[in-house]
Amino acid sequence: MAVAKSDFLINDTKYSFLKELGLQETNLGVFDGTWKGSGKIVQSICPSNGKVIAEVKQGNLTDYESCVESSTSAWNVWADLPAPKRGEIVRQIGDALRKQLVPLGKLVSTEMGKILPEGIGEVQEYVDICDYAVGLSRTLAGSIYPSERPGHVLLEKWNPLGLIGVISAFNFPIAVYGWNNAIAMVCGDTILWKGAETTPLVAIATTKIVAEVLKRNNLPGGIASLCCGGADIGKAMAADKRIKLLSFTGSTHVGQQVGVEVQKRFGKHLLELGGNNALIVAEDADLNMVVQATLFACVGTAGQRCTTTRRLILHKNVYEEVLSRLVKAYGQVINRIGDALEENTLIGPLHSKQSLEKYQETIAQIQKQRGTIEFGGKVLDGPGYFVEPTIVTGLKHDHPLVHNECFAPIVYVLKADSVEEAISWNNEVPQGLSSSIFTQNIGEIFQWIGPKGSDCGIVNVNIPTSGAEIGGAFGGEKATGGGRESGSDAWKQYMRRSTITINHSKDLPLAQGIKFE
């Protein structure tokens, strides 16, 4: 049934922050320096109540082509700016985001469904990476190596790639873009963003903030272009040789297709895909810390973080106590499921009806396979896409359900005889994103972080699997894709390396002492 525009949430005074962000009943979803949109009109749904927030006119392939041309042209201006000058623009973007921290955080909570402290925290993550990138803009270092040839200098220099494509996912609709955008911009790249189809308003509101900073500095808007759209836009980005690096965040299944398509044209890709993250509890672990950490890692963001704990591997000597205490902890938060914007809410909704159906299908399979539901397992009545966080026992560590990531608050609890066995179970799944162990044993810690320990990209000790900081490189191994974003030397993925030899002598000696006379 068609919904009258007067009934859109954007016209409800509770959601007045939407108009503060420059959003309207109908929003243009393409920005190439000018706002436009020639594709179909889609409605953005609030998962807390199932109501329409506002609608968006998506882009089509003609709009996409305009974005690519605009961003390619803008690169000729942007790449000529010294890196510290680019960093100054990113600093201004961070300041502009600070001014809209709460309204933008509320939009994230409204459109994605995560609770308000997490929504604001996600915007803060973009602010933080802007601060990080500003410092990086003055430290993008090359290298000087000794040459074996007299009168020669051997250098290594990093140059921008050009146009970067970013395809982000619904669960972190602004932070993932921020990680890519801030770092790529100081590296001298321009960016074309395709946000998730179900979170277009976050993408539009964010782009408006960035675009205003560019306009204020008399810079082309194509430095940070946007094309909201469907799978056709994503496919075009993967196949387009003009996009020098494609950063994709999403499922392993789709990410594999993206990676293959990009590789066909010898392009670069940065893949942030699925995770089937395990938290190991050794027999000497601080169980108070374990229960507190596990609760957030399992039910935070309603189980929709790529770093959510999916498997809880308990040493046999603490299995019963941890399980009983975790069930009790779940019982204490079950009455704090609700509207993501409400102050008392700890657990918001699943993002979509599709997510809800996937949860129901998985619960049915668990019951069919004779798994035991220790807590939860039900869909809540009423508007919105709310489910009970769920604890499952009785399935083996290598059961197909345990090895399959259901993007919902379902955790499988496993009993291990030793830390060695737990580590082998951690490593046996296809994905390799995040992992954690709780232990007081120094030997087990170094075993865990060593060559025969966790094979994940994120290897934690006495903290949960979720909640990564921006200063380290974020990403995983194996079917998680191998990409790295955010801190450390992740910036190198947005640049090309040149090895340079300069002869400042009058002779032409060959390397390795070769004589060609």
What are the residue numbers of the active site? 272
Residue 336's alpha-carbon distances to 329, 343, 356, 482, in angstroms, are 12, 10, 19, 37
Phi-psi group of 222: left, alpha or beta (phi > 0 → left; psi -120 to 50 → alpha; rest → beta): alpha
Residue 357 corresponds to which tokens in the numbers above? 């159906």
What single-letter amino acid sits at 30? V
CB 228 within 8 A of CB 194: yes
What single-letter amino acid sits at 67? C
Nearest to 373 by CA among 385, 364, 386: 364
Residue at token pair 């802007």:
130
Please give the torsion angle defined by the CA atoms of residues 259, 265, 266 and 270, in that order, rounded to the nearest 10 degrees.
-30
CB 127 within 8 A of CB 91: no
Nearest to 222 by CA among 421, 13, 67, 390: 67
SS3 for 47-102, per residue? CCCCCEEEEEECCCHHHHHHHHHHHHHHHHHHCCCCHHHHHHHHHHHHHHHHHCHH
